[in-house]
Amino acid sequence: MRISRTLPAAAVAAAGVLSLAAVPAQAAEYSSALKIKGVQYDAPGRDSNKCSGGNTAAEYLTIKNYSKTAKVNLKGYVVKDAAGNKFTFTKSHTLEPGDYVKLRGGRGTDSDTKNVVYRQNCNFLWNNDKDTIYFHKPGGARADVHSYTKRANDRDGNGYISYHG
């Protein structure tokens, strides 16, 4: 960032805001209680998208409520990948402060107590080589975004990447 030291603080702050829009998506921070805790982008074992006997359910995205006070309803939140594949949380599912949910592939029964929502789709969503995870609020504003490559972001190669611990 090229900022003259003689600029007033307000100008520096404004420049900071502007430059934020230019940096890569994964470096940006959005104002949101809900953020991406991590992603199991590569389901353990050999991938099979068969609804019965496949392992799509072992591919998941964990979304956590990082607020210390606010309850947040997942209803209307949207998850998208780099190719534009989209999942919308259509049911009410309240996340208490510190609570989380795993958005799993495959078919299954959503459960608040088990912290799980199924995409009801047996195809894999998160590419095993690289992808971008977009997480949007019900009104469309960005809640969180992270891009990854297996090579750069999954050094131990276990198929899981941690974002906001």
Binding status of residue 43 toward Ca ion by CB under 5 A: yes
Bridge partners, residue 117, by sequence = 103
**What mask, x for binding Ca ion by CB under 5 A, covers residues 75 to 94?**
--------------------
Task: Give the length of the chain.
Answer: 165
Number of C-beta neighbours around residue 126 at 10 A: 24
Bridge partners, residue 118, by sequence = 104
Q: CB under 5 A: which stretch of 23-31, 51-59, 114-122, 133-141 binds Ca ion?
A: 51-59
Q: Report the relative pairing of strands 94-95 and 72-73 from DSSP bridges.
A: antiparallel
Q: Are 49 and 56 in contact (CB under 8 A)?
A: yes
Which CB atom, from 19 or from 158, has the smaller least distance to Ca ion?
158
Largest CA distance in the chain: 65
Rounded CA separation 50/86 (Å): 20
Q: Which of residues 101-120 bind Ca ion (CB under 5 A)?
A: none
Grouping H, G, I as helix, E, B as strand and the rest as coil, residue 26 is helix
Grouping H, G, I as helix, E, B as strand and the rest as coil, residue 57 is helix
Bridge partners, residue 163, by sequence = none
Q: CB under 5 A: which stretch of 25-33, 55-63, 98-106, 136-144 binds Ca ion?
A: 55-63
Q: Report the residue from 37, 42, 64, 136 that binds Ca ion according to the rule CB under 5 A.
A: 42
**What mask, x for binding Ca ion by CB under 5 A, covers residues 117 to 146?**
-------x-x-x------------------
Q: CB under 5 A: which stretch of 15-23, 45-53, 83-91, 94-102 binds Ca ion?
A: 45-53
Grouping H, G, I as helix, E, B as strand and the rest as coil, residue 16 is helix
Q: Report the residue from 5, 68, 113, 156 that binds Ca ion according to the rule CB under 5 A.
A: 156
Which CB atom, from 26 or from 73, has the smaller least distance to Ca ion?
26
Binding status of residue 154 toward Ca ion by CB under 5 A: yes
Q: Which residues bind Ca ion (CB under 5 A)?
A: 41-43, 47, 59, 124, 126, 128, 154, 156, 158, 160
